[in-house]
Amino acid sequence: MKKFEIPSIYRSEVIGKIKEARKIRDPRKKDFEPTLLDFGPVRFYIARHFGFCYGVENAIEISYKALDENPDRRIFLLSQMIHNPEVNNDLLSRGIRFIMDTEGNQIIDWSELKADDIVIIPAFGTTIEIENKLADIGIETQSYNTTCPFVEKVWNRSRKLGQDNYTVIIHGKRKHEETRATFSHSKSTAPSLVIRDMEEAKLVAAKMRGEISTEEFFRHFSACVSEGFDPDVHLQRVGVVNQTTMLATETQAIADFFKEVAIEVYGQENIQQHFADTRDTLCYATNDNQQATYGLLEKHADLAIVVGGYNSSNTSHLVELCAEKFPTYFINSESEIESAHAINHYNYVEKIKLRTENYIPENRPVTIILTSGASCPDAVVDRVLHKLLTYFENVRDVETVVDEALMQPE
């Protein structure tokens, strides 16, 4: 796999060393056992896979390349390049400006842009409508297009579904940048529908079975379908793709569910005429990170710390998984850790910040699960680990602990 040039501020000594050693010992990514770092009074289970993925590293490399190659030109990002405040704030500090916020609200009017400006397409991609708008202004975007290859894979699969006369059902969050982009590309070649979860899938299935009226269908999905969508016609042949940061297991469960509904309605012998297998659109990195989190769930621990941007979809799903078993704290950096007695963290369901006291139990040793989202720099995870270590007495030397951990047999 390609080696990207990432600024040193995002790399780490502890986490980087662990990742490199695990990569050498497990090149085919078959082992999801976490790494145990035993510091004596506190122990950390470090997930097998987490942090920057291929698409994020590609986006970071291209963005900093744009800065280096164009010192005298105005440089804009359509919106946040990735959902991580540290990366976005550093780009802002270097003079890059955002055209929109993460929900697509305009910050800089299109009329302010000029043909010789640089506009970077973020890792989530963008809509066909925005691509056309930039082209009309005369802005060339291909040189600094950071769209993740796995997002483009979803677009290509959606296009093929449309060519084969299937309707595209997108499992995603309707307002998320990636889903907005995927929906735009999908609806250009196929009837398209966005659903959030299995509950919405069940509503669609009720229409497929003829259990609800067209009016009832549109009461729920009017803002989630392409123009001219006719559920009586367009739900007869379907295929499922996803926002790549969703839970892979949930996407597959939704696809399997629609397959079963199609069999129920049309019969097993006709299934290929009514359901397209789209398993190959699941993002490998999202899946690896989630599988590594399942590996963490097999361990006994006192709490879990998940690090990432609060608007990061893939990070929220890791939090969701960890919270099934452990008291879990979603933080965007070490700055959210006030002391050994208080931590500020994010409730992604209610979208509010919380403050919890006495989050570190009194028993010794304390065991902490530590992982991060795909857009979180390893350097931030390093700083979280080091800050937590300061709250314990007589901890063992970091370098010694890491070396010992990596010498353990598989």
Short-list 136, 51, 83, CA closest to 372: 51
Short-list 288, 302, 282, 293, CA closest to 320: 293
Strands (DSSP E) along 260-402, which ranges? 275-276, 303-307, 328-331, 342-347, 352-357, 366-372
Pairing status of strand 303-307 against strand 366-372? parallel
Short-list 207, 173, 7, CA closest to 104: 173
First to last CA, the chain: 24
43 vs 389: CA distance, rounded Å: 9
Q: Considering the candidates 131, 178, 320, 336, report the single residue annotated as catalytic.
A: 178
Cα angle 407, 379, 395; round to 5 = 55
Pairing status of strand 275-276 against strand 238-242? parallel
| Whether residue 112 lies in the annotated active site | no
Cα angle 192, 195, 196; round to 5 = 150
Pairing status of strand 328-331 against strand 303-307? parallel
Please state the φ and ψ torsions of residue 334, each to the nearest 5 degrees.
-65, -20
Q: Please identify every residue annotated as catalytic.
A: 178
